[in-house]
Amino acid sequence: MAYFDAASTEPLHPQAREAYLAALDVGWADPARLYNQARRAHMLLEQARTEVAEALGARPDEVSFTSSGTQAVHLGVLGTLHGRRRTGRHLVTSAVEHSSVLHAAGVHERDGGTVETVGVGLSGRVDLPAFTAAVAAEGTALACLQTASHEVGTLQPVAEAAAACREHGVPLLVDAAQTAGRLPMPEGWSVLTASAHKWGGPAGVGVLAVRKGTRFRSFLPEDERERRRVPGYENVPAIVAAAAALRAMSAEAAQENSRLSALVDRIRNTVPKIVPDVEVIGEPIERAPHIVTFSCLYVDGEVLLTELDKAGFAVSSGSSCTASTLRPSHVLEAMGVLTHGNVRVSLPRGASSAEVDRFLEVLPDMVRRIRQDAGVA
Partner 1 sequence: MTEVTQPALTIDALGKKCPIPIIMLAEQINHVPLNAVVAVLADDPAAYTDVPAWCRLKSHPHVGTYELPGGGWAIHVRRNY
Binding footprint of partner 1 on the chain (CB under 8 A): 277, 279, 297-300, 319-321, 326-328, 332-333, 336-341, 374-377
Is residue 319 within 8 A of residue 301, CB to CB? The reply is yes
In this complex, which beta carbon is closest to partner 1, that of residue 192 or of residue 366?
Answer: 366
Residue type, position 366, single letter:
M
In this complex, which beta carbon is closest to partner 1, that of residue 116 or of residue 302?
Answer: 302
Residue 105: which residues within 8 A CB-CB, separation 6 or more?
77, 91, 93, 115, 117, 144
In this complex, which beta carbon is closest to partner 1, that of residue 263 or of residue 299?
Answer: 299
Cα separation of 165 and 349, whole Å? 34
Is residue 174 within 8 A of residue 145, CB to CB? The reply is yes
User: What Rg, from alpha-carbon coordinates, does the chain have?
Assistant: 21
165 assigned to active site: no
* 108: Cα within 13 Å, side-chain hemisphere: 32
Least spacing, CB of residue 12 vs partner 1, in Å = 35
Residue 251: which residues within 8 A CB-CB, separation 6 or more?
none
Collapsing DSSP to helix, strand or coil, 367 comes out as helix
In this complex, which beta carbon is closest to partner 1, that of residue 147 or of residue 329?
Answer: 329
Out of 144, 165, 296, 321, the active site residue is 321
Cα separation of 202 and 219, whole Å? 27
- Sheet with strand 278-281: strands edge to edge: 278-281, 291-296, 342-346
In this complex, which beta carbon is closest to partner 1, that of residue 68 or of residue 320?
Answer: 320
In this complex, which beta carbon is closest to partner 1, that of residue 36 or of residue 324?
Answer: 324
Least spacing, CB of residue 326 vs partner 1, in Å = 8
Cα separation of 233 and 242, whole Å? 16
Is residue 191 within 8 A of residue 143, CB to CB? The reply is no
Is residue 231 within 8 A of residue 220, CB to CB? The reply is yes
Q: Which of 72, 96, 57 is nearest to 183 (CA)?
A: 57
Report, as residue numbers or ranges, the catalytic residues: 321
